[in-house]
Amino acid sequence: MKLMRARVLLGGSLLAVAGAVAGTLLAASPASAGASQTVMVDCRGNGQVRPAGFVLACADGNAYLNHLHWANWGSEAFSSGVFVANTCKPSCVQGHFVSYPVLAVAWRPQAWPKHAGRTFFTQLTLVFTGRRPGNTPVSPTYPLSALGGA
């Protein structure tokens, strides 16, 4: 019971912090209409602005984000959505996909090689707002590649 109460308090605290940060950034850094926007590079190497979905496991597609709703897209980007993972039970080929609610933060933009004047997000942090897969931490960070995915 104490563990459950601690998880609820921790989850509520993380949501409050994420909301406060997103609200501050929304007020502090509105996107300029003429500015080149930072992208997330997908598995094909294409830059995406505010993608509705994003594959994290490009090799096999066994982990991805879906139903992304971006609240901010600037030097950081904030979204709510769903993390979908294959349990690989009974096998990865015959696996079972399970969805988990998340907040997503794309951050640390850097120059996008071979795309003059463009930047891409190099980090993606997820905050699980409910249950999460197996031994996954509450807020894992994934490095993003200029070549695509995590």
What would the pLDDT profile of 86-121 be if each residue is shown by its tens digit? Answer: 988 888 888 889 999 999 999 999 999 999 999 999
pLDDT per residue as tens digits for the range 55-85: 998 888 899 999 999 999 999 999 999 999 9
Q: Is the pLDDT of residue 3 over 60?
A: no
Q: pLDDT confidence of 8, banded at 50, 70, 90?
A: very low
Task: Indicate the average pLDDT of the chain.
Answer: 81
User: What does the pLDDT read at residue 39?
Assistant: 97
User: What does the pLDDT read at residue 45?
Assistant: 94
SS (H, E, C) 19-62: HHHHHHHHHHCCCCCCCCCCEEECCCCCEECCCCCEECCCCCCC
Q: Which residue has 């249950």 as its token pair?
A: 131
pTM of the model: 0.75
Peptide bond into 101 cis (omega under 30): no
User: Between the CA of residue 92 and those of 71, 82, 142, what are the distances in Å?
Assistant: 33, 20, 21
